Amino acid sequence: MTTAGTSGLAAWSWYLVPRPVYSGGNEISLLRGGDALFPAMLQAIRQARHEVWLASYIFHDDTAGTEMAQALAAAARRGVRVRVTLDGFGSNQTGQAIRQLLSSAGVALAVFRPLDRWTQFLQPGQLRRLHMKMCVVDGDVGFVGGINLMDDRYDLRHGRSERPRLDYAVCARGPVVDHMEQAVRAVWSRAWFGRDWRHEALAMLRAPRPLSGLRALWRQLRITPRKSATLEALDPDAPSVHAAFVVRDNIRQRRTIERAYTQAIRNARQRILLVTPYFYPGNEFRRALHQAARRGVQVRLLLQGKVDYLLAGMAA
């Protein structure tokens, strides 16, 4: 748990350890689909007083996405610090109107690995996309899951459907929100530097006082530890939850989520229900599922029905 007096290294200790770091005193709510997630996010953003951090793979310009963008823009206009990160591939086409709406309101919008020019497709690392779907408001409430900012009943490849897609998110309050905020801040800073670092550097070098410009930029991008919501701020009737926030990157946290899954599967006694659109388990993960089934645990997999990418479907 991060407190106001915690050193920078201690505040990041959860990220430096390649395993889940649990904290107590959290309040966690499961949200099914955008029908549950979007109203809760909109309420939090409309009540924001200080800052909003949001990241999404897809930010669609349909009714659901536009309403979210309007709430973010309104927050920025009333003085809330709003930082948004979009993926350059996932939101390349559908996000143009959203980008304009947010930027015109003063939202600091960063694009992760942009694809505005055909030459950018040739740059190394373009297959590594931003699949984070997260929002943190005032450091008090966080939303994270698999839901993109678009109508649950619309698919970019299959069009509209009568039934919403099956997807989930969680709403969190308590110490775990600190870790969520640090992660979404970090990805925004990385995308912002990737987009504007060259221009910022040239401007600072040409300035009469380049050191002052560098300090101002650092103050804007720094990740400041903040005090988590206290237990008194949580719902007194809600049960206290022991929770950890885990991320996946290609360096320190490459297998943190997979290891957490594997450990839970190995400890399962009654049933395992795994819901995922993309399922490519390694040998260790498959072995854990096999062993669970052999010891009498009910193992059920719910995988993607309508395939969005043919290669992904063949691999699964």
DSSP 2: -
User: Which residues are registered as beta bridge partners of 56?
Assistant: 86
E strand or H helix at 176: helix 176-206
User: Which residues are registered as beta bridge partners of 53?
Assistant: 83, 136
Is residue 130 within 8 A of residue 191, CB to CB? The reply is: yes
Q: Band the pLDDT of 248: cuts 50, 70, 90.
A: confident
- What would the pLDDT profile of 65-103 be if each residue is shown by its tens digit? 999 999 999 999 999 999 999 998 888 877 678 888 999
| Mean pLDDT value across residues 8-35 | 78
Q: Band the pLDDT of 160: cuts 50, 70, 90.
A: confident
Mean residue pLDDT of the chain comes to 81
The strand pair at 154-155 and 108-112 is best described as unpaired
- What would the pLDDT profile of 113-158 be if each residue is shown by its tens digit? 877 766 666 666 666 788 889 999 999 999 999 999 999 888 877 7
Q: Quick one: how many helices (H) and strands (E) in the chain?
A: 10, 12
Q: What is the pLDDT of residue 4?
A: 35
Q: Band the pLDDT of 313: cuts 50, 70, 90.
A: confident
| Measured distance CA(246)–CA(257) in Å, rounded | 6
Query: Is 32 exposed, middle or buried, given 0-12, 13-18 or 19+ CB atoms closer than 10 A?
Result: middle
Q: Band the pLDDT of 209: cuts 50, 70, 90.
A: low
Show the tokens assigned to 197: 């670092």
Question: Residue 7 pLDDT more than 90?
Answer: no
Q: What is the pLDDT of residue 155?
A: 81
| Lowest-pLDDT choice from 131-135, 228-232, 234-238, 311-315 | 228-232
User: Which residues are registered as beta bridge partners of 85?
Assistant: 55, 110
Which range of 95-99, 285-289, 309-313 scores highest in mean pLDDT? It is 285-289
DSSP 149: B
Residue 2's alpha-carbon distances to 210, 225, 257, 264, 293, in angstroms, are: 33, 7, 22, 26, 40
Is 213 or 136 the better-scoring residue by pLDDT?
Answer: 136
E strand or H helix at 217: helix 210-221
Q: What is the pLDDT of residue 49?
A: 96
Length of the chain counted residue by residue: 316
Render the burial of 181-199: b for 16+ CB within 10 Å, e for the rest: bbbbbbbbbbbbeebeeee
Q: Going by C-beta distance under 8 Å and a sequence separation of 6 or more, which residues neighbour residue 169? A: 31, 36, 37, 133, 143, 144, 145, 146, 147
| Measured distance CA(76)–CA(50) in Å, rounded | 10
Angle ∠(227,252,1) on CA atoms, nearest 5: 20
- Please provide the distance, in angstroms rounded to a whole number, between the alpha carbons at the two ends of the chain: 38
